[in-house]
Amino acid sequence: MPDDLSIEKRPGRVAPNLTPATRASFGWDEARGFLDGLPGGAGLNIAYECADRHAASGRVALRWRGASGERRDVTFGELARLSNRFANVLQSRGVKPGERVFLLLPRIPALYVAVLGTLKARGVVCTLFSAFGPEPIAQRMGIGDARVVVTTPSLYARKVAPIRDRLPGVTCVLVAGEGVVPVGTESLDAALEQASDLWTIPPTSPEDPSILHFTSGTTGTPKGALHVHGAIVHHIASARFALDLHPEDVFWCTADPGWVTGTSYGIVAPLALGVTSVVSEGEFDAEAWARILADEKVSVWYTAPTAVRMLMKAWSGHRELPHLRFVASVGEPLNPEAVRWGIEAFGLPIHDNWWQTETGGILIANTAADPIKPGSMGRPLPGIEAVIVRVTDGVVEVLPRGEEGEIAIRRGWPGMFREYIGNPERTARCFAGDWYLTGDLAREDDDRYFWFVGRKDDVIKTSGHLVGPFEVEKVLTEHPAVVEAAVIGKPDPVAYELIKGFVVLRSGFEASEALRLDILGHARKRLGAAIAPKELDIVASLPRTRSGKILRRLLKARELGLAEGDTSTLETP
Ligand code: AMP
């Protein structure tokens, strides 16, 4: 293992939150001490910690930078007031605690107001990536039993109106921002305008549900991982240790809140710690990003390996970013060259860290306090017991250091998801005894650094987004010319993997370039650009096991020209 390549860091301008002493003495109760709790001992509510308790500070919570150059600073006081109004809007529409409010919004201030307002009303909030097409949206709103949808007029027309008849539980659609208010929806601005500024958050238990995030497995529909208000204890502790957030920081988390990183660290953690966050509505653009880092005086930056690799291509020479002091990344393996590129480009290495939708927050990280081992995800954070295991018939065996196996986490950390909604069987499969089984394969070295090896299943990681192959295959087979389909993640130097599809045509259809493009276009329209296949081959048959399961792994091996392994159970060679 390349320990000798570890990067020793010079002392930074700010003393790291994580020291050997804080590591040794850490307990979750101590982390809870960074929060106030609801007045009068009424429990713990994420929205109160994120807005109300900083309301009098006068500080800026969000520095919003719009896609067309607009600028708006939102103070903690404004966030507290507007989220009160949003809670009143929900109450006046009859929304009850526990009911689900789905947000399909670009990164605009209304998104943050709606997240906090829903939590204040003790609703469950689910943020969906606005680049999803109608199909993934319908699936998720259906599984999540959406009661309210908050979106924009244009997203409504393109993505929600076509599926509205599949969502009988939706009784209220609020649209934010510019444009004519479509029939069957109401203006969010008008509703907020009429609502009261006053709202008392009802008693909230740390075990009450708060945020729902969808994630994907190899088979079946997406899984709705349900989190609780008490997860905020993990969000703030991990943000202090793995992102080294201090109250005076200007923080930029580039992830969209449609993905868990964008809520845990784009909304909850920085707001709860009273830190100013930059919110950029625009899509990735290397020049624009470099400008944001410089002009907004970003001091802590949390991003993703795909973005880092795209920046590596576009960035020229060394740029001084005197305010930047800490950079971290998550979502897929961060190659050692990318870790070191940061030093060349702006004088700081990039700290990789690891977690999942289900874990709610960062569990393993290269921190400000420790040397970085480029290519490693780092070490477990305080309060987290992570091991490498082999599971045989439900029995967990912890493996010695150096051996490859599955990452397992001792259950009980506050950010852990509580269930996949409506799916107790799939929830149960993630646990064995005291351990949560992550589905990721890795090795742990003698210094307790973890090294990512791969996934146990066939899920695909593309540009930091986890995509279930089944969801894509289902849409491909809905094309009239396709009888069966399989998709794989094909290694890509920038996006880590790109989605490649293989389809078999129905009899009577002839393979042609026009048909291939038509199938790709169909998938893009239904799924959205983020999860549609980028490449597609029309093939005569797909390899299957004798029991009929498509062997995606074999397709992948063939695509990459690798050894095909044991094919004795193959039906279609
Ligand atoms: P998600 O639930 O969408 O956040 O995706 C979680 C998955 O992303 C993990 O199970 C890993 O497979 C992958 N992942 C996240 N962070 C890293 C990392 N630092 N290195 C390698 N893979 C990662």
DSSP 332: S
Ligand 1 center from residue 374 Cα (angstroms): 17
Binned at pLDDT 50, 70 and 90, residue 47 comes out as very high
Distance between first and last Cα of the chain: 38
Q: Are the CB atoms for 403 and 442 separated by under 8 Å?
A: no
Neighbours of 416 (CB within 10 A): 22
Ligand 1 center from residue 136 Cα (angstroms): 20
For residue 215 the two structure tokens come to: 């994630």
Per-residue pLDDT at 8: 67
Check whether 565 has a pLDDT greater than 80. no
Q: How far is CA 5 from CA 337, 371, 377, in A?
A: 11, 10, 14
Q: Report which protein residue has its CA nearest ligand 1's atom 22.
A: 332
Closest by alpha carbon to 305, among 326, 328, 283, 288? 328
Ligand 1 center from residue 111 Cα (angstroms): 25
Q: Are the CB atoms for 336 and 374 separated by under 8 Å?
A: yes
User: CA-to-CA distance for 60 and 439, rounded, in angstroms?
Assistant: 39
Q: Report which protein residue has its CA nearest ligand 1's atom 6.
A: 356
Sign of CA dihedral 437, 439, 441, 442: negative
- 407, 440, 451, best to mutate for ligand 1 pocket (most atoms within 8 Å of CB): 440
Residues of the chain with pLDDT > 70, as a percent, come to 97
What number does the ligand 1 atom closest to the CA of 364 have? 19
Average pLDDT rounded to a whole number, residues 171-187: 95
Q: How far is CA 117 from CA 84, 196, 421, in A?
A: 6, 12, 22
Q: Report which protein residue has its CA nearest ligand 1's atom 15.
A: 331
pLDDT digits (tens, 9 = 90+) for 445-468: 999 999 999 999 999 999 989 999
- 366, 461, 471, best to mutate for ligand 1 pocket (most atoms within 8 Å of CB): 461
Check whether 243 has a pLDDT greater than 50. yes
What number does the ligand 1 atom closest to the CA of 377 have? 19
Q: Are the CB atoms for 430 and 436 separated by under 8 Å?
A: yes
DSSP 299: S
pLDDT digits (tens, 9 = 90+) for 492-536: 999 999 999 999 999 999 999 999 999 999 999 999 998 999 999
pLDDT digits (tens, 9 = 90+) for 80-110: 999 999 999 999 999 999 999 999 999 999 9
User: CA-to-CA distance for 284 and 545, rounded, in angstroms?
Assistant: 41
Q: Report which protein residue has its CA nearest ligand 1's atom 4.
A: 356
Sequence-distant contacts of 199-203: CB under 8 A, at least 24 apart: 199/83, 199/84, 199/85, 199/87, 199/88, 199/120, 199/121, 201/38, 201/42, 201/45, 201/47, 201/48, 201/52, 201/87, 201/120, 201/122, 202/42, 202/97, 202/122, 203/38, 203/42, 203/43
Per-residue pLDDT at 5: 52
DSSP 10: P
Ligand 1 center from residue 452 Cα (angstroms): 9
Ligand 1 center from residue 330 Cα (angstroms): 7
Ligand 1 center from residue 495 Cα (angstroms): 13
Binned at pLDDT 50, 70 and 90, residue 573 comes out as very low
- 256, 356, 436, 437, best to mutate for ligand 1 pocket (most atoms within 8 Å of CB): 356
The model scores a pTM over 0.85: yes
- 215, 355, 379, 531, best to mutate for ligand 1 pocket (most atoms within 8 Å of CB): 355
List all residues 6 or more positions away from 433 whose beta carbon is below 8 Å from its beta carbon: 396
pLDDT digits (tens, 9 = 90+) for 329-348: 999 999 999 999 999 999 99
Check whether 76 has a pLDDT greater than 70. yes
Q: Report which protein residue has its CA nearest ligand 1's atom 5.
A: 356
Pocket lined around ligand 1, Cβ cut-off 6 Å: 215, 260, 330-333, 352-354, 356-357, 377, 438, 440, 452, 455, 461, 466
Ligand 1 center from residue 331 Cα (angstroms): 4
Residues of the chain with pLDDT > 90, as a percent, come to 89
What number does the ligand 1 atom closest to the CA of 357 have? 2
Ligand 1 center from residue 433 Cα (angstroms): 23
Ligand 1 center from residue 480 Cα (angstroms): 35
What number does the ligand 1 atom closest to the CA of 459 have? 12
Q: Are the CB atoms for 219 and 439 separated by under 8 Å?
A: no
Per-residue pLDDT at 10: 64
Query: What domains appear along the chain, each with residue ranges and CATH number?
Result: 7-444 (3.40.50.12780), 459-560 (3.30.300.30)
Considering the chain, what is the average pLDDT of its residues? 94
Closest by alpha carbon to 212, among 140, 266, 156, 116? 140
What number does the ligand 1 atom closest to the CA of 454 have? 12
Q: How far is CA 451 from CA 268, 333, 391, 569, in A?
A: 28, 9, 19, 32
pLDDT digits (tens, 9 = 90+) for 412-426: 999 999 999 999 999
239's enclosing H/E stretch is helix 232-242
